[in-house]
Structure 1
Amino acid sequence: MTEYAPPDPAKPHELTREAVLGRFLRAHRERLAPAEVGLAPGRRRRTPGLRREELAQLAGLSATWVTWLEQGRPVALSARALASLAGALRLSRAERAYLFELAGRRDPMQAQDEHAPAAVLASVEAINGPAYLLDRQWSALAWNAAAADLFVGWLDPASEDRNLLRSMFLSPGLQALVEDWPHRAARLVSEFRAHSIRHADDPPMRALVEGLIAQSPVFRADWLSQDVEERQGGRRGFQHPLRGLLHFEQLTLVPAAAPGLTLVMLMPA
């Protein structure tokens, strides 16, 4: 059995996840006034902010767990327990995301918060070249006129399914458009696998993958290959039915104001 070694007081800047998480929780507990959570301040309160026992009660957790967390002990908390802590501490959106990242858990609220800010939508229209915005399941939320003109079989007015993955495997028009389609399609699946594991418990994500496995033998084979790749930019070729062979450099960005979304732009190569 491994013996627990508490953080060294002489090293207040220790950067292990447990130590950073402990200092983060303590700092936010101590800056939260009892009155902010409906507690009487009391006459003999020596602790700044909330006591550990009070935070534990508000979060529905054991006071021992709260103590161990602040001490930097390796305590495994569920996403639900972390959400309770975040609520009890009145954490902001950024602070909540930081807490879940430190704890190595996925925030269940992320799947519910995927709206596209107006500024992000406007940026798609402002880009000169083809550009589009994808949601968590890689369905297009917005695209500009240049993208509608380029992506025959996906973003053109005649197409109905705006999901990139489904269109890549089920739309003959998009398959004919993409240069070296077998390679690009397999690469897209390996990139989506790396992306989707962060949202594996989301029902829409599972439904998308299961549906494609049933509908496309090529997708099924690519998915079962277990290949995993990071989302990659670089040169892209398209055999457009009216404009002939076109080449672009693809750039993929994650908007800071909407980290669940993906902005893709294509610049002339």
Structure 2
Amino acid sequence: MAASDPPQQASEPSGRQTEGQARSVRRAALGDFLRSVRARVSPESVGLPPGARRRTPGLRREEVAQLGDISVTWYTWIEQGRDVSVSPAVWARLANVLHLTRAERHYLFELAECADPEHGGELAEPLPEGLQDCVHSIEAPAYVLDRCWNVLARNEAMLQLFDGWPDRVQRPNLLRYIFLDPAAQQLVVDWELRARRVVAEFRADVAAYAEEPDVREVIDSLLRDSPVFAHWWRRQAVVEREGGSRAFRHPRQGVLNFRQITFRSAIRPDCKLVMLLAG
């Protein structure tokens, strides 16, 4: 990748200054992070001769650029926090060159706002035992979703609330339940309103992974099998999965009201812990 002139940044309308400032902060943080990790990587660890004298520790910018197969100018702009377009493949090469840990790699791709093309396979790993224990220790209905909204863990309270649904299917998926299982329309109060919002939440949730095979399979199957999902998916609405009031019409216990709270897992960033607190 080569470039001769710095990219020009267009001035933003006053109403979008906050969004532009947020991007600028992320780019600056990304540049600071790359400089920091570059300084700790020894030339020997990447197959380069150590060199008799180096004014700064670690790798030089031109060495990182060479190993990452991009131009020195382009890499310099990245470290300077300039607004440049970098593909996921380039970020992955830089992560490998700089010997990033799993947490550091995740941080890099979070700042870059794109999906890691090389570490998607990690998402098929079993759920950490500690996270499963956490779910079962919660008295309120609780469950863990992965990025496709597959239910990876659930407690007994969640099983009872959903009238046994997660155990009735081989691979429970919350989206498929909501849009393809007739029982969901009876259980979820204001199902049409919730279904519309769920689609917008899912779109926001998987924005960086929309072309990954597992995510694409869920989307394509629902576009094929659920006219309601297809209608709202094509509307392009996006909202955060922010929780709030949830009501269920249980077949034996009547209407139950909850407050939904969602946490993202630090040890499995693709997973969310969802709790439904009475009230």
TM range, smaller chain: 0.7 to 0.9
1:157-168, aligned counterparts within 5 Å?
157-168=167-178
CA distance in 2, matches of 1:262, 1:174: 21
Change (3 A) 1:24 1:227: closer
Percent identity for Structure 1 against Structure 2:
48
Instruction: Decide whether the 8 Å contact of 1:152 with 1:173 is kept in 2.
Output: no
Q: 2:93: which partner in 1? A: 84
CA distance in 2, matches of 1:117, 1:72: 36
Change (3 A) 1:75 1:3: closer
Q: 2:217: which partner in 1? A: 207
Instruction: Decide whether the 8 Å contact of 2:243 with 2:262 is kept in 1.
Output: yes
Change (3 A) 1:244 1:21: closer
2:273 equivalent to 1:266: no
Deviations 1:201-260 (A, max 9, x none): 112222212211221222222223333222131222212122222222211111121111
Instruction: Decide whether the 8 Å contact of 1:153 with 1:167 is kept in 2.
Output: no
Q: 1:198: which partner in 2? A: 208
Q: 2:154: which partner in 1? A: 143
Change (3 A) 1:122 1:77: same
Using the size of structure 1 for normalisation, the TM-score is: 0.85
- Whichever residue aligns with residue 239 of structure 1, its letter is R
**What are the ranges of 5 or more consecutive residues in structure 2 without an aligned counterpart?**
10-23
Instruction: Decide whether the 8 Å contact of 1:153 with 1:174 is kept in 2.
Output: no
Q: 1:69: which partner in 2? A: 78
CA RMSD of aligned residues (A): 2.5
Change (3 A) 1:3 1:150: closer
Matched residue pairs, number? 259
Q: 1:46: which partner in 2? A: 55
Instruction: Decide whether the 8 Å contact of 1:138 with 1:165 is kept in 2.
Output: yes
CA distance in 1, matches of 2:251, 2:26: 53
Change (3 A) 1:206 1:47: same
For 1:221, what is the secondary structure of its paired residue? helix
Deviation of 1:166 after TM superposition, in Å, equals 0.8
**What are the ranges of 5 or more consecutive residues in structure 1 without an aligned counterpart?**
6-14
Match of 1:254 among 258, 261, 264: 264
Larger Rg: 1
